[in-house]
A and B are shown apart, each in its own frame.
Chain A
């Protein structure tokens, strides 16, 4: 499809994202995901997620139970909705924490340079030496399992990535004339960082946020699958997938639907990340 735009007037990033197939599909999946989570947050679901219908245990998908029931007779669709809410809660809060800590550290390291830069980035290197899951396990060993501790664990795990992604562009932007001018006029460093440097490095950070949401969704599901994240009877897609083991032969829907939900959620954030990268990265843009 060819779109005609007036010469000299570049379409906004939003329009470019909506025209990007990967970005558009990713955005649609995430909107669906958020809508389902919001419905669960306002307790709008076919059944209460913890309600047990003992007579209807392990019933396949039907008109009454859209996606079937589990071993305790709980409605799978309602639990999937509750799982979407919990997964989105953990993913968004942990990425919020990681991006706040990581971007702050990256901005400080890049702007201050010298020994603070060295110190901060060497500390980040220490965190990079651990696989994400192992670091999360280490944090959970200290804090214990549970919804909020999972948020903290995942937030800590992904902080160094944000620090590294933020620091690189700061090094380039701080040498630009408008920042140098601000410095020479004696502008407050905090104001300079927040008002002038941060807006200029937002593009790679937005891409990173989208990708980090997909990783944190995966890490939460992985931890919950291992029994170290969200604790039953609270619903989480990882917990539900783990609970399906052993009975999947009799009730394959218990494995299929949570599995598809995890894959779809991750796919959505990955595609949005790819779309954002295409739209915001000047290198990719110039190639198109």
Chain B
């Protein structure tokens, strides 16, 4: 296990370097030079001397590879540049907005698990019953409805039939006002979690069906154990292992999906910040946010791999295997 851990972390580092290189290159490929990209139309008012001074200041007079390492060095120190529009350091903007995005994603996971696991389990236990057919149909609909459609429909129903406009007021964070925070995040999290609950349901169902056909479940049944006990004590734990992996794999989707949901419900999270940065061509912010999210996803994938190993006794990462 230890050697696997070391290998896994060692393979994580080149990917991380690759991510940083991709983000750096993407912004370098933006048409026009970086000064014009940063200052916009105001760049036209610069004299040659001013432009050269700025190029020296930002290190743009150096070769590209040197610029990359300078940028990377600064990024490691936490300096991701400065947002002119917000008048703040990119890193502090990201750290301000990320907790909301993360909370939204975690809230969505909880909702998806609450909906998806029981339906998936019952579907598997009562295979081919009306309940199973209804559950599978619901999952199919869930997967076909993108979160921006679900969100738009929720806002429509709430505003037309209940005269409620979700998040019309100021956003309250969890630490300041937990109740208001949960109220404000419930519908966005439901929007985000709806499609994910369909994936959870499908995964739970197929994995439970597989486990119910395994020898150890048959043995437990042949020992005369009650069906409920067989399911709760023997099948459930094993059936839920792939769901853990699914959460890890889908975390990226949830963080990406949170971008649209934040925009629909006007939530001041990292997603909304990034989308606005793309529209307003705030390159340092796009660069910083992309790097930050990719780093998070790499770390989550690493943790899921390790969690997977500790949950499933059949999986061993010893060199002998």
Residue ranges of B at the interface with A (Cβ–Cβ < 8 Å): 14-15, 18-19, 21-23, 26-27, 29-30, 140-141, 143-146, 148-149, 152-153, 155-156, 159-160, 252-253, 255-257, 259-260, 263-264, 274-275, 278-279, 281, 283, 286, 290, 293-295, 297-298, 301
Contacts and interface: CB of A to CB of B under 8 A. Distances in A.
A69 interface: no
A181 B275 CA distance: 54
7 contacts: A126-B19, A134-B259, A139-B26, A221-B148, A227-B279, A245-B152, A270-B144
B294 A244 contact: no
B275 to A, nearest CB: 6
Given A129-B298, A130-B294, A228-B279, 10 more contacts: A123-B18, A129-B294, A131-B259, A131-B297, A132-B253, A133-B257, A134-B274, A225-B260, A249-B159, A266-B144
A67 interface: no
A262 B146 contact: yes
Interface string A89-126: 00000000000000000000000000000000011011
A267 B146 contact: no
A118 to B, nearest CB: 10
B277 to A, nearest CB: 8
Contacts of A138: 23, 26, 286, 290
Contact of A130 (B140, B148, B275, B293): B293
- By secondary structure, the B interface counts as helix
Contact of B259 (A133, A139, A218, A264): A133
A91 to B, nearest CB: 13
A39 interface: no
Contacts of A263: 141, 144-146, 149
Nearest to A225: B148
Contacts of A141: 26-27, 30, 278, 281, 283, 286
A252 B23 CA distance: 41
Contact of A267 (B144, B253, B260, B294): B144
Given A225-B260, A248-B152, A125 B18 contact: yes
B64 to A, nearest CB: 16
Contact of A142 (B26, B140, B253, B260): B26
Contacts of B26: 138-139, 141-142
A226 interface: yes
Nearest to B297: A129
A124 B5 CA distance: 22
